[in-house]
Amino acid sequence: MTLDSHAQFSLIAPAKLNLFLHINGRRDDGYHELETLFTFLDYGDNLAFTRLSTSDIELTGDTNNIPLTENLIYKAAVLLQKHTKTAWGAKINLTKILPMGGGVGGGSSDAATTLLGLNKLWNCQLTLQELAKLGIQLGADVPVFINGKSALAQGIGEKLVDVELEQKWYCVVHPSEHVSTAKIFTHPDLTRDTPKLKSDWQQHLLRNDCEPLVKKLCPEVEKTLQWLLKYAPSKMTGTGSCCFVEFATQTEAHHVLENLPSDWNGFIARSVNTSPAHMQLNAVHLSNQVTYK
């Protein structure tokens, strides 16, 4: 019994929103202790995986001219390949939907979805916990995408407690600004002393500690947040630059999108408590990719 070398499937690499982001301190290794609430959206990049009988890792599609060895998708594939010592390779095609430097987790989501997809494609049989340990080497947000559940995150983002959130509709606006996560987290003016939550997060006044700094460095983000206030309380996700408003219905969210200034981009999407990548992955059955000899 051998696995078909041409097995293939596609997965969504979903967007995330940070519904709040508190930074509690800076560690000696440069990483930050934080508390944040992640929710997934049913919207994101698309990754198509094809198994190769050679050990080659091929990456095609919307790579934005990022050098191959610096691309998180390629790094994730090589990391899993080396860890499992698999003889398989893969062709991965990226259809890029999520903005870079937008704070919606595009790069981390792509990396996590690559680990999830190739774990299935290569029949590695690693657990989500094992994949998350690999993923943290690629970025602090990677484990939550591997876990695939709306979650309260602590530590540097790797300590996760699953939560069930009421599903909402979001209008997410990208004001055509790229915000460097590294620049924000190394900036001396970043708030780093928010006390850790001592009880249920829902009982606290919540905020994004990165928002004041990003607004100062990127006036277009402040302009976006102010514009969105016409429709609902506005928030920034992650280190920006994407901003969002929350609604109970798709119609309300779509109304904001229809009135968006022409120089901004945006999308609407529904929140989900389980990552779309996980739901799609559950429908992929290796038994359909087996050849008997």
Tokens matching residue 20: 């709040």
Q: Where are the beta strands (DSSP E) in the chain?
A: 2-3, 8-26, 32-52, 57-61, 89-95, 151-154, 159-162, 169-174, 235-236, 243-247, 265-272, 290-291
What is the C-alpha separation between 118 and 92, in angstroms, rounded?
Answer: 10
Angle in degrees, CA 44, 48, 53, rounded to 5: 155
Active site residue 141: yes
Q: Helix 106-121 to helix 128-135 angle, to the nearest 10 degrees?
A: 140
Residue of 45, 75, 120, 141 marked catalytic: 141
What is the C-alpha separation between 183 and 108, in angstroms, rounded?
Answer: 17
- How many CB atoms lie under 10 A from the CB of residue 26? 15
How many angstroms separate the Cα of 9 from the Cα of each of 90, 93, 112, 131?
11, 11, 16, 19
Q: Give exposure, 66-95, as e/b (b: 16+ Cβ within 10 Å).
A: eeeeebbbbbbbebbbebbebebbbbbbbe
Active site residue 16: yes
- The secondary structure element, H or E, covering residue 207 is none
Alpha-carbon dihedral sign for residues 266, 169, 191, 215? positive
What is the C-alpha separation between 187 and 153, in angstroms, rounded?
Answer: 22
How many angstroms separate the Cα of 193 from the Cα of each of 31, 34, 177, 214, 281?
14, 10, 27, 17, 39
By annotation, the residues acting in catalysis are 16, 141
